[in-house]
Amino acid sequence: MTKIAIIIGSTRPGRNGEAVARWVLEHAAQREGVEYELVDLLDWNLPHLDEAMPAAMGQYANDHTKAWAAKIDEFDGYIFVTPEYNHSTSGALKNAIDYVGAEWYNKAAGFVSYGVFGGARAVEHLRLVLSQLQVATVSAHVGLSLAHDFENWSLKATAQQEAALTPLFDQVESWSTALATVRNADADEQQAA
């Protein structure tokens, strides 16, 4: 079964990310033939990148890195729930992405973002970062405006925003499934070598 992580990309006190991610998960749980899991960066307590070797080497020295690598490797795809801070994503999410390498390769990702302008600039930066990690990002995107989709800092998603989740789920699920063939071919090649 295809397994997709919904990654909460903020660790900030009072963050909106957890409510947004739980809203995404509530709708994802209604999908058939796929398993979604919430992954909260707060639970991982990753320090600022502290590995001596580049992630692309796959030579992780720290236990927290090995545990994070194992968690990321479990999934076929990801939905990143990201805030927009200063025209980009959060430092915590960028740090978590940078920790590991091959565990991200040949997988799919989509985005649910939030911010003054719906978090669009954070998503654009994440697309660039993830392309280097061979993550295929889908075009469907849900952008939540702090001015229109929140009331007193609480999520009040509209029917339009809820409807926008369907193409996001459809694309991430289909791309995640399709990219499994690439990962399997790579694994076969490595075993043959």
Q: pLDDT tens digit string along 99-111?
A: 999 999 999 999 9
When divided into structural domains, the chain yields a total of 1
CATH code at position 89: 3.40.50.360
Q: What is the pLDDT of residue 190?
A: 67
Q: 10: closest CA among 109, 108, 95?
A: 95
Domain of 74 in residue numbering reads as 2-192
The burial of 167, by beta-carbon neighbours within 10 Å (0-12 exposed, 13-18 middle, 19 or more buried), is given as: middle
124 pLDDT tier (thresholds 50, 70, 90): very high
Q: pLDDT tens digit string along 14-54?
A: 999 999 999 999 999 999 999 999 999 999 999 999 999 99
